[in-house]
Amino acid sequence: MLDEKPLSATVHEPASQAIETQWWRGAVIYQVYPRSFADSDGDGTGDLPGLISRLDYIASLGVDAIWVSPFYRSPMADFGYDISDYRDVDPVFGTLADFDRLLAESHRRGLRVIVDQVLSHSSEQHPWFEESRRSRDNPKADWYVWADPSPDGTPPNNWLSIFGGPAWQWEPRRGQYYLHNFLVSQPDLNFHNPQVAAQMLEEAEFWLRRGVDGFRLDAINFCFHDVQLRSNPAKPFAERKGRGYTIDNPYAAQYHLYDNTQPEMLGFVERLRQLVDRYPGTMTLGEISCEDPFAAVRDYTQGDQRLHSAYCFEFLVDRFSTDHVREVLETLAQRAPDYWPCWAVGNHDVARVASRWAQSGVDEVRRAKLLNAFLLSLRGTACSYQGEELGLTEVEVPRNALKDPYGIAFWPTFKGRDGCRTPMPWDDRLPQAGFTRGEPWLPLPERHRQRAVSLQQADAESVLNAYRAMVRFRRAQPALRWGSMRLLPSPEGVVAFVREHRGQNLLAAFNFSASRVQLALPLETRAEGLSLPGHESGKAGAGVVELPPAGVFFGSLRAT
């Protein structure tokens, strides 16, 4: 049992000097979903000028970088993750000049800028696909994944779309099917074609030349498919869970062995790293969802020739369990000891963590502070999604107001991703809480107005000010930013570990339960508590640390 032994695997740290000079190691990255962040022109949709106007706020959080979700030209079938022009800004968000100003103003404030790259697929309205679909012999004919039908006219295999139904769409002009792992309007590019792989590197370099500090690589392991088009095997019903797919989604009924995470991808990752390395100080962060995420994040970040970091969906699960948390941390340490992780407990694709990981009997504000402190204490790089610093909860969006095609297709059993994408509440005194002068693209609920930045700024005990304190604390503790991590035995509802770096031994303990608990310290050690403003902190006693409900404890661990 995990509770009966400490973490046995050794986490190998790079040389201290190398860790401390690479800005992304131990960084805190703030994810901005620009459509919902700040609207400058009153059309109800957030934009780049609106984001620029709020950079002082982001800088005040103490974070190192912002990750900006897609702002490229797009018909917006999937709200920017269906790109029709990789080198331009969609007019709903502004212009290329606005983006250049965003870079300059961010850098002036010491903030680095990471942008999404959506390489595996484009929009059906991209000129490449419009040409490719016309015939089998045009210059772009092999730029997308095309396949002949089976003898009975059905798709060539059993691959499924994440958004429901077959992953193949018939194109009568070619008399073939094309592959779409996501929406029908998001055809998959054919990375087995060397021209495509080279072109996508050129698309990425366009933004490197403009001065971005790195890429968040959307669904990066979906770029290559099995060239033999082998069907995926069926998955037993008992295993159809996790990875963000609801049980009513047929996608969960397969082992996805052939439609993603192919071995050829590693060669492309190395080429991408070679490109990025030509621009000093830039980094790559991969999003990976597959059957064996622990192996994938290890392989995709192996050595110094592949991605700098990657994250999987292990902390984006629907229900919270300390057993699950400890199992993930232990398994990663054992199977990928050299991997530098990136952690997120929420993003634009999953229900907000304050609701998803709510705990009966625990105050929402204390719980939000606990979740942020936990995220910012893990070994690796941390991604905070906009609104987590305010403790925003999931919004129940009415059926007639849904925008997400995923939610519309699966309503009412799954209501999509709109509930985590509602606008940021800036000022409780203004219409639409200061997000826009017009009608917001998604509703902004009254309870979010009560958690507006304007109210939390003035409250010393707010989630916002506790978040700022935790970021400052992380910056001041080398062990939290760069140190190794050793999991400790802990009682039910508690996660505890020791972070170590250059002689600093820092104990971090988190009580996710609604009860007061005691954590036994390792033999022949004592803990000296460190102050963390705004949090419900535990107290060190003789051989134990006492943790209040939703409490945290940080302390120097010393031999007796």
Pairwise CA distance, residues 13 & 59, whole Å: 29
Instruction: Give strand pairing partners of 353.
Output: none
Question: At what angle are helices 322-335 and 293-300 packed, to 10 degrees?
Answer: 40
Residues 6 or more apart in contact with residue 44 via CB below 8 angstroms: 436, 438, 439, 440, 441
**C-beta separation of 494 from 532 below 8 A:** no
* Long-range Cβ contact pairs of 231-238 (< 8 A, separation 24 or more): 231/157, 231/158, 231/159, 231/258, 232/157, 232/158, 232/159, 232/160, 232/256, 232/257, 232/258, 232/259, 233/257
Only one residue has tokens 């095997």, namely: 233
Picking from 134, 252, 260, 245, the residue whose alpha carbon sits closest to that of residue 188 is: 260
Torsion (CA) 89, 90, 91, 94 in degrees, nearest 10: -40
Q: Report how far residue 183's alpha carbon sits from residue 235's, in angstroms, rounded to the nearest whole number.
A: 23
Closest CA to 496 of 466, 515, 519: 519
What does the alpha-carbon distance between residue 118 and residue 31 come to, in Å, rounded to a whole number?
Answer: 16
Strand pairing of 484-487 and 494-501? antiparallel
Structure tokens at 375: 């995220």
Asked whether the beta carbons of 29 and 65 are under 8 A apart, the reply is yes
Cα distance between residue 105 and residue 530, in whole Å: 35
Residues with a catalytic annotation lie at: 218, 287
Sheet of 176-179, strand order: 146-147, 176-179, 168-171
Asked if 11 and 48 touch (Cβ cutoff 8 Å), the reply is no
CA dist 442 and 37 (Å) reads 12
